[in-house]
Amino acid sequence: MQIHPTIDGLRAALAANPNARVALVPTMGNLHDGHISLMRQAREHADVVVASIFINRLQFGPNEDFDKYPRTFEADCARLEEAGVDHLFAPLEAEMYPTPQHYHVEPNPAHTDMLDGAARPGHFRGMATVVLKLFNIVRPQVAVFGKKDYQQLMIISNMVNEFALPIEIIRGETCRADDGLALSSRNGYLSAEERVEAPRLQRQLRRIRERIAAGERDRLRLETEAVAELAAHGWQPDYVSIRRRSDLQVPAAHDDSPLVVLAAARLGKTRLIDNLEI
């Protein structure tokens, strides 16, 4: 695997193989099996796989975990190498943002002022800005993002459509630990006791899916019960919400569009998110 700290270096390396179909998998590092499964999916869709590792300050709020976000570069490189990734783009901040970033992608507020966007103002603007910049740097034909960050994936898909970017977006399934907890770089913040409690979030989502499959129509009741159940076990829930998959809007009573249930809740100091298509 070639490691490129600069845009010019990466572009020169990719130019050596101009007809190759290139897949990009953007990450912020601290890679786990979920990321590696995205790399493997990228390989199925492309001749050349490029991963990026960049902890994007623009998508962190002032009181969020930018400074303590885990930085595990050596271990990440070893995992990417083992997964058969061809190129790693790993710029320093001075390379990505040599001047302050004055131009930003402003996603549709109907897609950002809710769910995770409501709790993290500016997060999706910073995320979409860096993703567009990475797309411009790498010029991939394919990009792979995990469904674990469902709202992020929806916003990226809409950005690609509205800017007519010639990029196919592949949606990677969420990888889970044996007890159901969705893999996340932030799981490492959990204490041993919290780690035992953490799968409750996924269990609540599964319960909602089962109740809907069994004919329950009162979505608000299901959401409220799940929030109460989490709170009763020491969580601070942000939301548990049943939405349309396509645009994450609240479905009308007789809307039979495909649905997804999404949740975010704080366990101790760690904010966990998860979702399940229903």
- Interacting residues with ligand PAF (CB under 6 A): 26-28, 56, 59, 127, 130-131, 149, 152
Closer to ligand PAF by Cβ: residue 129 or 202:
129
Reduce the DSSP state of residue 114 to 3 states and report it.
coil
Asked about 104 being catalytic, the answer comes back as: no
The C-alpha torsion from 230 through 236 and 240 to 246, rounded to 10°, is -140
Contact at 8 Å (CB) between 169 and 193?
no
Is 242 or 273 the residue whose CB approaches ligand PAF more closely? 273
Closest distance of CB 212 from ligand PAF, Å: 28
| Whole-angstrom distance, CA of residue 96 vs CA of residue 78 | 23
Sign of the Cα torsion 148, 149, 154, 157 reads negative
Contact between residue 52 and residue 134 where contact means Cβ atoms under 8 Å apart:
yes
Q: What is each CA distance from 117 to 5, 75, 87, 113, 219, in whole angstroms?
A: 31, 31, 32, 5, 22
CB of 128 to ligand PAF, least distance (A): 9
Chain residue whose CB lies nearest ligand PAF: 26
Nearer to ligand PAF, 72 or 251 (CB): 72
- Judge contact between 58 and 130, C-beta under 8 A: yes
Task: Count CA atoms closer than 13 A to 98's CA, side-chain side.
Answer: 3
Work out how close the CB of 28 gets to ligand PAF at its nearest, in angstroms, rounded to a whole number.
4
Q: Which of 4, 35, 87, 111 is catalytic?
A: 35
CB burial readout 1-29, b (16+ within 10 A) else e: eeebeebebbeebbeeeeeeebbbbbbbb
- CB of 194: closest distance to ligand PAF in angstroms? 22
The smaller minimum CB distance to ligand PAF, of residues 227 and 248, is found at 248
Is the CB of 59 or the CB of 174 nearer to ligand PAF?
A: 59
As a whole number of angstroms, the longest Cα–Cα distance in the chain is 58
Minimum CB separation of residue 175 from ligand PAF in Å reads 14
Positions marked active-site: 35
